[in-house]
Amino acid sequence: MMGSDNQVFEEAHVYASREEMENLVLDDDNSSSKSFSNYRSATSLSPPILVTPADSDPLLAPPPYRDLRNPNAPDNNGNNQSYIEPPSYADVIFRPFDETNPAVNEINGVESSNQFVDSPHSSTSPVSSTSSDYIKITVSNPQKEQEMSNSLVPGGNTYVTYLITTRTNIPEFNGSEFSVRRRFRDVVTLADRLAESYRGFFIPPRPDKNVVESQVMQKQEFVEQRRVALEKYLRRLAAHLVIRKSDEFKLFLQVQGKLPLPTSTDMASRMLDGAVKLPKQLFGESTALVAPQEVGQPAKGGRDLLRLFKELKQSVSNDWGGSKPPVIEEDKEFLENKERMSDLELQLSNASQQAEALVKAQQDMGETMGELGLAFIKLTKFENEEALYNSQRARAADMKNVATAAVKASRFYRELNAQTVKHLDTLHEYLGLMLAVRSAFTDRSSALLTVQTLLSELSSLQMRAEKLEAASSKIFGGDKSRIRKIEELKETIRVTEDAKSVAINEYERIKENNRTELERLDKERRADFLNMLKGFVVNQVGYAEKIANVWAKVAEETSGYANENS
């Protein structure tokens, strides 16, 4: 107990700040891991992992780990040779996401997990177990650029562009590595065009515009925040097996210069055009029918305000259940799924919140433990300096042990937390995806509404035609004007029939997209959640073991004080 090595103090000096504590070199600790001052920043950029469990399970992969405590440890396949000693996770590094590099698992328990995030080997694209497709996207190098004289503000607007680098071996891309510069507005355009082209798909939601934040935050901080968000978004898009091969995505990633996609302002001007056309339509001067090719888009986004009104009327009549709509959403399975997704979203939101609270509590625990350790280190130093009695030196030695343990435990808590953040992030990811699900279901509803509108229009046109025919048949020799009207009506009916077919096809297509996406989502989500749970639990076990060891040592060292009180 007395006067052991003072290595701690050579380096300890006066510790007032956390950084100093981070650099504190402790006795048997050979790495001064630069830990995380902000657990948020430890939130990784990895997309939801879509691999099957077999590839990613750290328990089945063959990382070499030795159980220092028990040479008879069960082998990694979980075949317990002895049920007495459970496998020790204290010596394993917990990186269940690092499936491409199982051999990198290190034995040193105090490894900083920063390496995982920056490692060039870490796969950022989910590798499906069947294909070897690979695509990695990085967003970097934000730069200020000047807008040309287009704007109203003299001197021009400035905006930020980001360098988007893609590395891939997917054949649909021509090339294996390319870079473009894009601004945020381009991303909005991409997102909008994808939403139009891939109705019914679960398209990952794009980052928010954050108008308020962009004004209020420090420019650098905001740009960095946006860069991270963009990277996450693009990687998610790349993870979607259908969308990654879309034209829109490819154009976005590859075409130099101006993004060759119609922008959303174009769409807005189309709305204006539509407003101009409306009076003519109402007076019957231009055709009031819906061109078949336009039926492929929802009325809201399109030019046709009249169509919008009609569909609105239809949806109202649907709601009031006046006349039984000809096509009802009778897919009970779909309704059940919709209900299920809604419930899932609610629970995910709740779980996501509680996960954040848990992370904060772990973070705080680590911090306070560290501060306690520091306070004891100061006390130890003080007692040693002022010691007149051996009892003081003994006490100082005891305190040093406790302080060392507390600082170590504090580090372990922080590492545990960084890993926990990564695992539980899966909850946040899927919560974000629920937005995409809702939007895909909305695509379906609006497509159905279009069909219903057309059907009821068709039936009313047909009724008119019948009436006219009945009336004109009463006049002997025919009524020239009525006959002409009937002809026109029949033409309208034909066009509307075509539109109806297109609408029905579109609806069926979206239905099918919904179905396959839902299947994919369920399958992937199950796998990802299971992985998350395993990762989370392995993490907790491992770090709890490490922390237990640290304190057991001190308990041992102070066991001399134990008496019949304990």
Partner 1 sequence: MINTQRSASGSSQSPRSPSSQPYLSVSVTDPVKLGNGVQAYISYRVITKTNFPEYQGPEKIVIRRYSDFVWLRDRLFEKYKGIFIPPLPEKSAVEKFRFSAEFIEMRRQGLDLFVNRIASHPELQQSEDLKTFLQADEETMERLRSQDTGYFKKKPADLMQIFKDVQSKVSDVVLGKEKPVEESNPEYEKLKHYIFELENHLAEAQKHAYRLVKRHRELGESLSDFGKAAKLLGACEGDALGKAFSELGMKSEALSVKLQREAHQLLMNFEEPLKDYVRAVQSIKATIAERANAFRQQCELAETMKLKEINLDKLMLTRSDKVGEAEIEYKELKAESEDSTRRFETIVRLMNEEIVRFQEQKTLDMGIAFHNFSKGQARLASSIADAWRTLLPKLEACSSS
Cα(261)–Cα(247) distance, integer angstroms: 10
Tokens 């076990």 correspond to 541
Comparison of 158 and 563: residue with beta carbon closer to partner 1: 563
Tokens 């539980």 correspond to 424
- Give the pair of three-digit tokens for residue 35: 């830990």
Comparison of 122 and 363: residue with beta carbon closer to partner 1: 363
Cα(207)–Cα(223) distance, integer angstroms: 13
| Contacting residues for 279 by C-beta, under 8 A, at least 6 apart | none
Comparison of 237 and 396: residue with beta carbon closer to partner 1: 396
Comparison of 207 and 535: residue with beta carbon closer to partner 1: 535
Comparison of 59 and 160: residue with beta carbon closer to partner 1: 59
Cα(206)–Cα(188) distance, integer angstroms: 7
Comparison of 16 and 276: residue with beta carbon closer to partner 1: 16
- Give the pair of three-digit tokens for residue 532: 């998350």
Smallest gap from Cβ 45 to partner 1, in A, equals 24
CA 547 to the chain's CA centroid: 32
Report yes or no: 454 and 460 within 8 Å, Cβ to Cβ: no
Smallest gap from Cβ 236 to partner 1, in A, equals 22
Comparison of 230 and 547: residue with beta carbon closer to partner 1: 547
Smallest gap from Cβ 7 to partner 1, in A, equals 20
Rg of the chain in Å (alpha carbons)? 33
Comparison of 162 and 376: residue with beta carbon closer to partner 1: 376
Among the listed residues 402, 360, 377, 361, the one whose alpha carbon sits nearest the alpha carbon of residue 21: 377
Smallest gap from Cβ 519 to partner 1, in A, equals 15
Smallest gap from Cβ 341 to partner 1, in A, equals 10
Smallest gap from Cβ 426 to partner 1, in A, equals 12
Q: What is the DSSP annotation of 302-335?
A: SS-HHHHHHHHHHHHHHHHT-S--SS----HHHH
Comparison of 323 and 354: residue with beta carbon closer to partner 1: 354
- Give the pair of three-digit tokens for residue 229: 């968000």
Q: What is the DSSP annotation of 208-260?
A: P--HHHHHHS-HHHHHHHHHHHHHHHHHHHHHSTTGGG-HHHHHHHH--SS--
DSSP-assigned beta bridge partners for residue 145: 159
Smallest gap from Cβ 295 to partner 1, in A, equals 37
Smallest gap from Cβ 336 to partner 1, in A, equals 12
Among the listed residues 450, 533, 565, 534, the one whose alpha carbon sits nearest the alpha carbon of residue 496: 450
Cα(275)–Cα(307) distance, integer angstroms: 12
Three-state DSSP class for 11? helix
Smallest gap from Cβ 532 to partner 1, in A, equals 10
